[in-house]
Structure 1
Amino acid sequence: MPIKFFTVDEANGLLEQIRPLMGELLDRRARAVILSRQMAGFWDPPHSDRGGSSASQLAQEFGQIEALAKQIEAFGCVIKDLNGGLLDFLADMNGREVYLCWRYNEDKISFYHDLHTGFSGRKPLP
């Protein structure tokens, strides 16, 4: 499969489709965190039901999170952080490979970073 390079306009154009998927993914992640806290004593010997419905719900949430992540990455972007809803789109900026960087709830892609610097190296788009 060839590597996809995005323009800023192309990546921004996908956000309308990606934003609701990422929103649902983050909601399900939050539910999974709550369920996992409820199951904190899951492996303690006194508990005999081994999680019961909470374990089943947690497995369902993880399955949905995985499916949503695959849907999002099918657009050609890379999920960098599930906690903050952080995505990168590979781009060519004046002959240099960079990532266009978007975080859930940002209106549009306004930042980029070098491939090796990550979020801490974000810079405003020129």
Structure 2
Amino acid sequence: MKARYFTLEEAQATLPQVKKLMEQVQSARREILRLRPDALPAIEQAALNGGNKLLGELAVHAMRLEEGVRGIMALGAVIKDIDAGLVDFVGLRNGREIFLCWRYGEEEIGYWHELNAGFAGRRPLDEYIQ
């Protein structure tokens, strides 16, 4: 599903669902790492690309991870990094596309960054966010 535009208020209102789904993703990730740390990169890639039939003994946790990822994407958000729990919401600042940036563990969306800046370019929200 393609990302959609969010106002800050819409993104904040969606955040409880994203938090719940990201907790599912992170819980599954922890179990996968516990059982088979060497398998996590392949499972993450499969989740982002629609699945993989060879997940074997990790299928239950892989399915939980994939369901969480798909759930977040279905809300219109963009997952940037599963390991760090980074989720972006496409928004507008002064009429330009930006990302409203949230990281797993944060209470609310408090930052934004340019489309090409990434997490390192995060800046606090300001009055120009629409």
Q: What TM-score range do you get, normalising by the shorter chain?
A: 0.7 to 0.9
Match of 2:63 in 1: 63
Structure 2 counterparts to residues 44-55 of structure 1, below 5 A:
none
CA positional deviation for 1:22: 0.7
Question: What secondary structure is seen at the aligned counterpart in 2 of 1:112?
Answer: strand
Per-residue CA deviations over 1:9-65 (Å, capped at 9, x if unaligned) read 1000011111111111101001001111498xxxxxxxxxxxxxxx74312211221
Question: What secondary structure is seen at the aligned counterpart in 2 of 1:108?
Answer: coil
Root-mean-square deviation (CA, aligned residues, Å) is 2.0
Highest relative contact order (Cα 8 Å, sep 6+), 1 or 2?
2
Structure 2 counterparts to residues 1-126 of structure 1, below 5 A:
4-37=4-37, 56-126=56-126
Question: What secondary structure is seen at the aligned counterpart in 1 of 2:31?
Answer: helix
How many angstroms apart in 2 are the aligned matches of 1:124 and 1:38?
36
CA positional deviation for 1:4: 1.8
Structure 2: gaps of 5 or more residues: 40-54
Per-residue CA deviations over 1:54-98 (Å, capped at 9, x if unaligned) read x74312211221111001110000111111211000011111110
Distance 1:29 1:7, change over 3 A: same
Question: What secondary structure is seen at the aligned counterpart in 2 of 1:90?
Answer: strand
Structure 1: gaps of 5 or more residues: 40-54
CA positional deviation for 1:3: 5.6
Q: Whose radius of gyration is greater, 1 or 2?
A: 1
Q: More helix by proportion, 1 or 2? A: 2
Question: What secondary structure is seen at the aligned counterpart in 1 of 2:36?
Answer: helix
TM-score, normalised via structure 1 length:
0.80
Which residue identity lines up with residue 114 of structure 1 in the other structure? Answer: E
TM-score, normalised via structure 2 length:
0.78
Distance 1:2 1:103, change over 3 A: closer
Question: What secondary structure is seen at the aligned counterpart in 2 of 1:97?
Answer: strand
Q: Kindly, what percent of the aligned residue pairs are identical?
A: 40
